[in-house]
Amino acid sequence: MKSKVGCVAIFVAMVVVLAIGEVKVANAVTCNPLQLTPCAAAITSAGSPTVACCTKIKEQRPCLCQYMKNPNLQKFINSPGAKKVASSCGTPFPKC
């Protein structure tokens, strides 16, 4: 009986260690609108976004509200093309 309890305790301990090891720490995003350069063609024309564009959109998503507040970037970020690219990449467009 004691060996079953010991085995269960070891199993639970292993599961906890594995679960803790799977916790991912969020990296801070450096907001830089130039990171969205791979998306320029897809935003301004009828082209489809590239894999590089979708990767950057997902990385820079936390920054989009900040970009929308910038008068120089606002017209690009709020454009139908930018919303189309975000949708095509499976990245919800933020509501700021």
Q: So what's the pLDDT on residue 95?
A: 85
Euclidean distance between CA atoms 84 and 16, whole angstroms: 42
In Å, what is the CA distance from 35 to each residue of 6, 11, 60, 93, 96? 53, 45, 8, 17, 20
What is the CATH classification number for the domain harbouring 52? 1.10.110.10
10 vs 33 pLDDT, higher one: 33
CA 39, CA 45: separation in Å to the nearest integer? Answer: 10
Report the predicted TM-score, pTM, of the whole model to 2 decimal places.
0.66
Q: Is 41 left (phi over 0), alpha (psi -120 to 50) or beta?
A: alpha
Domain membership of residue 26 (yes or no) is no
For the chain, the domain total comes to 1
Residues 6 or more apart whose CB falls under 8 angstroms from that of 68 comprise 74, 77, 78, 96
In a domain, 6, yes or no: no
| 28 assigned to some structural domain | no
Q: Is residue 39 in some structural domain?
A: yes
Q: Residue with structure tokens 């995003």?
A: 29
pLDDT computed for residue 49 by the predictor:
95
Q: Which domain holds residue 37?
A: 33-88
Domain-located, residue 62: yes
Asked whether residue 14 is assigned to any structural domain, the reply reads no
- Position 22 pLDDT exceeds 70: no
Report the alpha-carbon distance of residue 38 to residue 42 in Å, rounded.
Answer: 8
Residue 72: inside a domain: yes
Question: For residue 61, is it within any domain?
Answer: yes
